[in-house]
Amino acid sequence: MHTNACRCGVVALLVILGSTGLAVPARADTSPPGERRIVTTVSTKTLQMLREQAPKRAARTQQASEPGFFKTRKGAIAVGLMAAGAAFTVWSVNHDRKPVKSPIR
């Protein structure tokens, strides 16, 4: 039974990998250069809006920067919970390896 499952898995893997070669590759834009629409300039409205937003961004970056997430209390709690979850996973895997004691087996 185990060998049949392995063979089915290998066959499925070969079918998937083999079918990737059948996919049609994407083609580059074949339209003539005159018909392509590429924006290389900025409109005056957009330029004005960008100039208005620049001082706001500069003021935000000059403010006292907040500490990173992992340096806050919430970050420390999150790291602690992740470490506890990883520790519990390792502990449960080690304790699950003991043989099952059941009258059927």
**What's the pLDDT at 34?**
62
Supply the pLDDT for residue 56.
73
In angstroms, the CA 27 to CA 3 distance is 43
Q: Which of 14-18, 23-27, 36-40, 71-75 has the highest mean pLDDT?
A: 71-75
* pLDDT mean over 28-43: 66
pLDDT at 46 over 60: yes
